[in-house]
A and B are shown apart, each in its own frame.
Chain A
């Protein structure tokens, strides 16, 4: 099962994502943003960092990188896409996920450990998470405050597209509306979250909860491949 990790100029979690995807059993490789080719990847990860320097707005310029055209086609075919932190910002700017990630309301770059409740376990990203589990993952971002106008938020909730919420004891670190930490698209095949599962891939890092998500992704992609070829 092949996973492609996109490298934008300014990505800085690409190697961590590559490592975690390989730990999860994937044949993972890096994909340079300027080349519009997924090299057969069945799942694509947009990693954390500061793509194109985060100039203008986080993700605003990365959206126009040549690889994003094939990522969009991949998603339209039902292919899996996971955006982590800056990758989440890129997906919202690209219109592949709803909403926008604004500057933290705390006026600070926020980093540290958070807890996440998993709102749905029937998605390709969470199918391996045991029932009742809250995830312990690290965050590191200045612009992670999830926003959508109220009416659209209600629709998002009703459609079951809120996948992760910040949970006690640490709670909401950035002012995200309704404690939203991660969402999926309406087809459930594109996911973005601000916390970093790839940085919680081994116990020695303080938590390996991130592997629950990465293993789910790899297993789902393998399953999808077996089903549709």
Chain B
């Protein structure tokens, strides 16, 4: 068995209102950053998977993303392989 580390980035789907992003954006002028727009806030999950090969590990992460880490109705996700982590 080998250990594979992945990062899963979960974002609100395009066109879905993102109140968190809007709240962050509303604070930016206080930083003099009023040239910044279209802020979207998501979440990031990193994890290790024990598997015999990367494809199996990735398929498992894909399932976790669809069933738990994201709600497919309102969120999309992107999975990337990371260097071995903790």
Is the A/B pair a real complex? yes
Show the binding face of A for B, using Cβ within 8 Å.
56-57, 60-61, 64, 93, 99-100, 102-107, 147-149, 175
Interface string of B39-76 (1 = CB under 8 A from A): 00001000000000000000000000000110101100
A107 and B23 form a contact (CB under 8 A):
yes
Inter-chain CA distance A147–B19, complex, in Å, is 14
> Chain B residues near A148 (CB, 8 Å)?
73
Q: Which of A57, A107, A175 contacts B71 (CB 8 A)?
A: A57
Interface residues on B, range: 10 to 19
Main secondary structure of the interface of A (DSSP, over half): loop
CB-CB contacts of B1-32 with A at 8 A, as 1s and 0s? 00000000000000011011011000000000
B70 to chain A, nearest CB (A): 9
The answer to whether B74 touches A60 (Cβ under 8 A) is: no
B43 to nearest A CB, angstroms? Answer: 8
List, in ascending order, chain A residues with CB within 8 A of B20's CB. Answer: 103
Residue from the list B16, B19, B43, B68 in contact with A107, Cβ < 8 A: B19
Q: Which of A99, A104, A147, A148 has the most CB of B within 10 A?
A: A147
Assembly CA distance A149 to B16 (angstroms) = 10
Cβ 8 A contact of A60, one of B16, B19, B68: B68
A99 and B72 CA atoms in complex are apart in Å by 11
Q: Is B74 in contact with A102, judged by CB distance below 8 angstroms?
A: yes
Check A147–B23 contact: CB distance below 8 A: no
